[in-house]
Amino acid sequence: MKIGLVLASNIYLSPHMKYYTDILDKLDIDYDVICWNRVENDETFGYSSIEKFEYTIENKGPLDKIKGYYKYNSFIKEKLKNNSYDYVIVFTLQLAVMLSSILVNLYRNKYLIDIRDYTSFVKFKRATSKVIKNSRLNVVSSKGYLTWLPENKYVISHNCRICDLKLHKKFESNNHAIDLNNIKIATIGNIRDYKANIEVIDSIKNDRRFKLHYVGKGTCEDQLKEYCNVNNISNIEFKGYYAKKDEINIYSGYDIINNYTGKDINGLTLMSNRFYNSLITNKPMIFLENSFMCNYGMENDIGIIMKQNTLKEDVLNFFNSEEARKKYEIGRLKVIEQIYNDIYTFEEELTNIFRKE
């Protein structure tokens, strides 16, 4: 048996591929990785069989990007026709829709779709419904996505691996007393959505009891820096790039994690990487009200709803309340158990599909 894994970008920009290769390696199944070197990077990551499309679109205009998508689409189709894979795993719904003709005609019921972000491609309702209907398995990283996806069977694959989730035991003792005059808040990872971040910054600006650190890089980082400089905001700090291997330890150095997302459809329905890293490291979170992630988190008492006028008071009350902290501890472990069960269900589904005859 041989599987084709079709990525929408570089390997290093597709960490969720590991959720599948972990299982394929365990079952001793061969696979090719078909990827697009969009952001120039000479990557191999130890994979023995990589089909790499070389066309960098970094710092290029929209026409070059469109051209790149069409060329990559043709590249993938050629590989799928020539290799006759037993199964194909397609990452991102937009790529699956673009490949729908070959998937439905040559790989009907022999391809899987992995969906981890909202895409405007769902507006192509007929093509989206057709490619999802004819797949062997549809995988989503958030149940919130079911609000905009066509009705069908979906399996949850959280943005977290079992080996990472098991680290939560290491941080059981992180429930230490918080210095209410020096509460450390962090936004860790990709810094995006200017408006959402401005709301959080404005809610605590120049209050010496609160420190907000941005750890990572992102599209609106420079704008946020400029906003803080122009408005003389002194309790916000930008730490810059960090190595992925240091991520969990970085989380452990803060008191609460800013998981406040934008109010677009993706922000309202996703489950972020920060959610899982916060759970693992025993850190409560700040949520966008009425988002799927917020509703899930608040059902289990593991965070605070972001309200600009009362955020400071709500954070102080949370850390000052023994009852709130106890509810958090119970809720955190409950959510971790639920995620374990979902991951085992996902692995069982894949194993049943790929197990050698």
pLDDT greater at residue 244 or residue 139: 139
| pLDDT score recorded for residue 289 | 96
For the ranges 35-44, 52-61, 143-152, 328-337, the lowest mean pLDDT is seen at: 35-44
Count of domains observed in the chain: 2
| Same domain assignment for residues 196 and 259 | yes
Segment 131-154 mean pLDDT: 97
Task: Flag whether 47 is in a domain.
Answer: yes
| Same domain assignment for residues 137 and 170 | no
CB 36 within 8 A of CB 12: no
Task: Flag whether 350 is in a domain.
Answer: no
| Same domain assignment for residues 172 and 318 | yes
| Same domain assignment for residues 72 and 189 | no
| Same domain assignment for residues 142 and 189 | no
Q: Is the dihedral of CA 342, 133, 267, 41 positive or negative?
A: positive
Task: Flag whether 185 is in a domain.
Answer: yes
301 exposure class (CB count in 10 Å sphere: 0-12, 13-18, 19+):
buried
| Same domain assignment for residues 269 and 317 | yes
| pLDDT score recorded for residue 41 | 62
| Same domain assignment for residues 178 and 135 | no
Task: Flag whether 344 is in a domain.
Answer: no
Residue 354 to residue 87: CA distance in whole angstroms? 8
Segment 52-63 mean pLDDT: 78
Task: Flag whether 356 is in a domain.
Answer: no
User: Over the stretch 151-176, which tens digit does the pLDDT of each residue have?
Assistant: 999 999 999 999 999 999 999 876 66
Amino acid identity of residue 235, one-letter, is N
CATH of the domain at 87: 3.40.50.2000
Segment 1-23 mean pLDDT: 91
Tokens encoding 17: 């591929």
Task: Flag whether 128 is in a domain.
Answer: yes
pLDDT at 232 over 80: yes
| Same domain assignment for residues 173 and 307 | yes
Residue 103: HSE in the Cβ half-sphere, 13 Å Cα cutoff: 30
Segment 77-100 mean pLDDT: 95
| Same domain assignment for residues 15 and 54 | yes
| pLDDT score recorded for residue 48 | 63
| Same domain assignment for residues 124 and 206 | no
pTM attached to this predicted model: 0.91
Task: Flag whether 346 is in a domain.
Answer: no
| Same domain assignment for residues 178 and 297 | yes
Segment 280-287 mean pLDDT: 96
Segment 109-133 mean pLDDT: 95
Task: Flag whether 141 is in a domain.
Answer: yes
- Domain residue limits at 103: 2-157
Read off the pLDDT band of 16 (50, 70, 90).
very high
| Same domain assignment for residues 10 and 86 | yes
- What percent of the chain has a predicted confidence (pLDDT) above 90? 82
Segment 230-257 mean pLDDT: 94
CB 28 within 8 A of CB 57: no
